[in-house]
Amino acid sequence: MTRHLQLTEQGKLKHFLTIEGLDRELLTEILDTAESFVGMSEHQVKKVPLLRGKTIVNLFFENSTRTRTTFELAATRLSADVLNMDIARSATSKGESLLDTIRNLEAMQVDMFVVRHALSGAAHFIAQQVAPHISVINAGDGQHAHPTQAMLDMFTIRQHKKQFEGLKVAIVGDILHSRVARSQILALNALGVAEVRVIAPKTLLPAQVKTMGVTPIHDMDEGLADVDVVIMLRLQKERMNSAFLPSESEFFRCFGLTEAKLQRAKPDAIVMHPGPINRGVEIASSVADGSQSVILQQVSNGVAVRMAIMSMAMQSGGTA
């Protein structure tokens, strides 16, 4: 769909809008590049000069403290100048169009937009409109995609499991409303895992779920049997009405991850969650804070992975 838009003529990363259309080689290059950044937080000087003189704009039309903070930290560690736009108080809330906002920022000689928007396709639209030297990173658009989150999840899996071949991965919860799940499924399949299972009540699965390269399962005991990775998703209550679920307590009883249910997975299975966590709704605190949880590592890895993606896009040069 957007392969030509995301890549330069030389096949290098220009924009990062979706996992769709990106091959295993490029995804692996992102993971390998992130590997070179992951130890930087332990250095006395936590900066490299790769993007010195570049200006990156965080253009967040939806709130997200964690994602915006990790993008800001990643850009700062690459020595870029960072501008955080307060969209609630910006001209877009006074009637100025999205395109007008982009054009005004372009006039300030910026080099990259990191975009989060409630509408699916917003980042693609901006990437189609910007000047040739500008890169666009999708930090989450509607229910469509959240590719940098998916890649930091892939990085965390590779840290613990070393390779993707042969892995069985279960994604549990609100698949229907989750842009993260869509990006994770694309990445896992592109990287060659053995099986991706999605575990949820029928009301929280997309109608076309069987075309997504997954095995849909409606029972936790069956779905978690012998898996290597368990990814829990939050209930996106802001995007659903009561018709989707009888109650949160009923959801937790059937689909919440407890220590007892986790025993169905392999003994060395890791537990992940893109956050924010609803404790006692999709996951028990004893599991979220337990020895198999790598949830905080995911947050730490977010900086290195976003550094990798930003540096690759900005260093590719040329036009898409």
- Judge whether 103 counts as a catalytic residue: no
Q: Which of 146, 149, 193, 192 is nearest to 168 (CA)?
A: 193
E strand intervals along the chain: 55-60, 81-86, 112-117, 135-141, 168-172, 195-199, 215-217, 229-232, 270-272
Query: Would the annotation count 116 as a binding residue?
Result: yes
Query: Would the annotation count 275 as a binding residue?
Result: yes
Query: Would the annotation count 66 as a binding residue?
Result: yes
Nearby residues of 82 by Cβ (< 8 Å), 6 or more positions away: 55, 56, 57, 58, 72, 75, 76
Among residues 68, 116, 168, 306, the one annotated as catalytic is 116
Among residues 66, 202, 210, 253, the one annotated as catalytic is 66
Query: Would the annotation count 253 as a binding residue?
Result: no
Interatomic CA distance for residues 178 and 54, integer angstroms: 32
Among residues 2, 18, 67, 156, the one annotated as catalytic is 67
Among residues 65, 94, 162, 211, the one annotated as catalytic is 94
Looking from the CA of 296 toward its CB, the CA atoms found within 13 Å total: 6
Looking from the CA of 25 toward its CB, the CA atoms found within 13 Å total: 3
Query: Would the annotation count 197 as a binding residue?
Result: no
- Judge whether 146 counts as a catalytic residue: yes
Classified as helix, coil or strand, 115 is strand
- Measured CA to CA in angstroms, residue 298 lies from 2, 38, 198, 202, 234 at distances of 27, 12, 20, 28, 15
- DSSP β-bridge partners for residue 134: none
- Judge whether 116 counts as a catalytic residue: yes
Query: Would the annotation count 182 as a binding residue?
Result: no
Among residues 146, 177, 182, 197, the one annotated as catalytic is 146
Query: Would the annotation count 146 as a binding residue?
Result: yes
Binding site residue list for carbamoyl phosphate: 66-67, 116, 146, 149, 275-276
Catalytic residues: 66-67, 94, 116, 146
Binding site residue list for L-aspartate: 94, 179, 234
